[in-house]
Amino acid sequence: MTADIAFRKTGASTTNWIAWALNPTRQGMAGSQALVAYRHSNGTVIVYTTQVDASGSMQPASLSFGVPNISAEYTGGDMIIFATLQLSASLVTTNQVWQEGPLSGGSPGRHPTTGQNIQSVGTVNFVSGTATSTGGGTSSKARKRNVSGWSINYAVFVGIGCLLDMNSA
């Protein structure tokens, strides 16, 4: 099964990186399979896949599932990652994580481990197109829509796909 996704961060800083990830083993970034993007100082957009380990390393690496197509763009303050994911049955419903952090020496650096960055977790179901957020918010309904000022929106495209939209509140 494949899923075409678009993950957008509005108000993206040119001095930060963004990432969206699946974590089949637990909630949180450690152990996740991530898509990372940032704007290089020369204006080009860098995008790649990485397996995030407990140290927070984000070196380019293959994932446990295929990503035959990946690209990103930065337009008008929005950073968007586009990708096709080749998902196994065990990843149809799984944990998701989204993050933002500073660039350090032109590469992704460690993000704070407080506030939004530890609350930006949830689940996604690629068949139904539904998702939840488990951090932030004061009620379960609020958590489904808003995680500490980040709004995540999903839309199912023709076939199986998701639009993941990270907006500042």
Residue 117, helix vs strand vs coil = helix
**Residue appearing with tokens 């984000």:** 58
What pLDDT, on a 0 to 100 scale, did the predictor assign at position 114? 60
Within the chain, where are the H helices? 116-119, 140-145
pLDDT in tens, the chain (169 residues): 888 888 888 888 888 999 999 998 888 788 899 999 999 989 899 999 999 877 767 889 999 999 999 999 999 888 999 999 998 888 888 999 888 889 888 777 666 566 566 667 888 888 877 777 765 433 333 333 333 333 333 333 333 444 454 443 3
Q: What is the pLDDT of residue 21?
A: 92
What is the structure's pLDDT at 18?
92
Instruction: Specify the pLDDT at position 54.
Output: 73
| C-alpha span between 44 and 99 (Å, rounded) | 20
The set of residues, in sequence order, having a beta carbon less than 8 Å from that of 44 and lying 6+ positions away, is: none
CA–CA separation, 83 and 50 (whole Å): 13
pTM over 0.85: no
Residue 143: per-residue pLDDT: 34
DSSP state of 59: -
